[in-house]
Amino acid sequence: MTDPLEGPGIRRLLEDTTKDGDAAVVAGMAVTLGQRHAKAAQRADELSRSVKHAARVLALTPGEENVRALLSLLTDLRGDYFLPRLDQRHLASLLAEAQSEDDLFPVFADDPSGGGVLSACLFHEMVLRGADGPELKRRTGWRLSGSWHPGLAWLPDERADMERSSHFPSRRYNGEANGGTSIITETTARLDPPTPRTTGRPDVVEVTTPELHEDISGPPREGGWSYEARSYRTAAPVAPADLPAVLAGLPLLCLTGLGPSDRFAVAPCGLEDVWELLFTTASLGVFGGSGVHGAYGRLSAWRSIAGLAGAPTSTMPGGIAGLEAWPEAATPEAVLEAAAACTWLRFEADSEWFYNDMYADYGIATLSPDGRRIAVVAATTTD
């Protein structure tokens, strides 16, 4: 017997039954439909999770046959409901973690993802892990489309020295281990200003533009952390040795309520330390999250360092893939040169803004070579 609640005639049945004065019957049918919808949605979620798990298993199991099977899966589901829900950035990260370089060549030869997202992200995941980018392009004949991915196309093809400190998750079929950011400890070289600290405000003017804020705050924003990002112009040059004391007096939300003797830990910070903090924040995300993974974590960290160092940046459209902001005027080499000329500090504080969970709080401050510009990004999260 045909179920009257199935098929295209259900709407007409509801209308006719209502016109016949059987409102209670219509309400009952609606309840039944709602219950069926709930069960169907639950089943759809189960199927979606199973498809994602199949893709994860193939990506994490070493062997070219598994890589090709994953590509076949993506091809067969192309245009289907599932494909947009399979995170290409995540798959690229899984592949780079588990597969050998040679076994990954099929991805560059036949990328079934829209706009080549999978191969674009995989390339940068591999570079971050030490692959020779130019040689990889030569061997595969692959090129990254600047029209589809202008930000990723701007990034260097080779790993910078600072990127050698990149931290990656360790994934299994079920579960993963991410770790967290480094912290200032009692054994860390310190530059804490003397206590009790003065409460006077330094003579500064905030010069944070919306574009600069977007650049600097990228890693914590994209990683799902709470954050603050600001830039100041000083009335007079600030000496690097005076930066910790000046920093403590800046009108930052993250330092609101910090008392003259409350903990305000400051430490010198090399570019590799800055990179580790920003890349980890963007790529791994908050506790229980996933971040934006390696390729876009790389882009986010480069943009943030460029903004903090005062390298000129620009926002450009990213084609069908959406909007991507990327440093246009500054080359990667120019960003590194500008960053190397700055003074970098890391700070932590016992203010109300910071959650003060271990491995989940930091502030980064940079001083320009002329001592007239201070830029800050602060991030905090909790489990």
For residue 186, pLDDT beyond 80: no
Q: For the whole model, what pTM was predicted?
A: 0.89
Strand pairing of 361-367 and 373-380?
antiparallel
For residue 314, pLDDT beyond 70: no
Least confident stretch, 80-84, 93-97, 187-191: 80-84
For residue 165, pLDDT beyond 90: no
Distances (CA, A) of 65 to 5, 147, 272, 349: 45, 31, 37, 51
> What are the extents of the domains in the chain?
1-144, 204-380
In three-state secondary structure terms, 285 is: coil
Strand pairing of 361-367 and 314-317?
unpaired
For the stretch 219-231, pLDDT in tens is 999 999 999 999 9
Whose CA is closest to 207, among 340, 328, 376, 363?
A: 376
Q: Which CATH number is 204-380's, of 3.40.1000, 1.10.3470, 1.10.30, 3.30.70?
A: 3.40.1000
Per-residue pLDDT, averaged over 55-71, amounts to 96
